Amino acid sequence: SAVISQKPSRDICQRGTSLTIQCQVDSQVTMMFWYRQQPGQSLTLIATANQGSEATYESGFVIDKFPISRPNLTFSTLTVSNMSPEDSSIYLCSVCCPGTGGTEAFFGQGTRLTVV
Amino acid sequence: QQPVQSPQAVILREGEDAVINCSSSKALYSVHWYRQKHGEAPVFLMILLKGGEQKGHDKISASFNEKKQQSSLYLTASQLSYSGTYFCGTEGSNAGGTSYGKLTFGQGTILTVHP
């Protein structure tokens, strides 16, 4: 199993500013994933963060808006840049699924972001 | 590609049963089921890997059809604690038959259990 610590748990930010969300895992993992969950919606994958390489972004998400760092196998950050009210969401980091037999995805508790 | 979940919402009384379906247009590597309560992170329920597989614990079980394109979650004798939003998360297969290691979630099914 994996325990994920994510912070901050919530924040209220001014439009035009940036927020960096941190995700710490208690074990080494190859891939970490960042999701966005807009109010009342499902989880949408933003990007996959691999240690030692550039993050891979899903359609509709770009590095300039959501830069990701992955300095080691237990830590990652997601920055939400130049925020607007449309960025108000819950952001979750996750580790999952090595693809060799199937394991559950573990989630951080999420960061509830409100942009005003 | 996002899997399709149905129904969108279910309202039950304690003790009643419910079925939630999850469908994909392509064969999947696996299907995961999660429950999320308001303001909390999703909680893992179970994972299915094999076509024709059925598994479960307590009064919650799930199946994965032979073609690995459809899964159903069965909630029997529902309890108040079952209330929440249920998501299926699917892993696609790559050309090598393994997964990409990322989940695509359905749109969710809101389950409400009343006393």
pLDDT digits (tens, 9 = 90+) for A23-47: 999 988 888 999 999 998 999 999 9
Three-state DSSP state, B108: coil
- Residues B99-104, mean pLDDT to the nearest whole number: 77
Residue A97 — very low, low, confident or very high, per pLDDT cuts 50/70/90? low
SS (H, E, C) A24-62: EECCCCCEEEEEEECCCCCEEEEEEEECCCCCEECCCCC
* Cα A68 to Cα A21: distance, rounded to the nearest angstrom: 10
pLDDT single digits (tens) B43-83: 989 899 888 888 887 799 999 998 889 999 999 999 999 99
Closest CA to A32 of A89, A85, A105, A93: A93
Compute CA distances A14 → A4, A36, A78, whole Å. Answer: 27, 19, 18
- Report pLDDT for B51: 85
pLDDT 10s digits, A78-89: 999 999 999 999
Q: Is the pLDDT of residue B110 over 50?
A: yes
What's the pLDDT score for residue B100?
Answer: 66
Shortest distance, CA B37 to any CA of chain A (angstroms)? 11
Mean predicted confidence (pLDDT) in B9-17: 97
The shortest CB-CB distance from B42 to any of A31, A103, A107 is to: A107
> Are residues B91 and A99, on separate chains, in Cβ contact within 8 Å?
yes
Determine the Cα–Cα distance for residues A116 and A111; give it in Å rounded to an integer.
16
CA B84 to CA B39: how far, in whole Å? 11
A108 touches chain B (CB under 8 A): yes
Interface residue ranges in chain B relative to chain A, Cβ cutoff 8 Å = 2, 29-30, 32, 34, 39-42, 44, 47, 49, 87, 89, 91, 98-108
Of A89, A30, A26, the closest CA to residue A56 belongs to: A30
- pLDDT above 80: residue B112: yes
Chain B residue with minimal CA distance to A33? B102
From B2, B101, B104, residue closest to A99, measured CB to CB:
B101
Q: Which two tokens stand for residue B70?
A: 């459809």
Query: What are the pLDDT digits (tens) for A3-16?
Result: 899 999 999 999 99
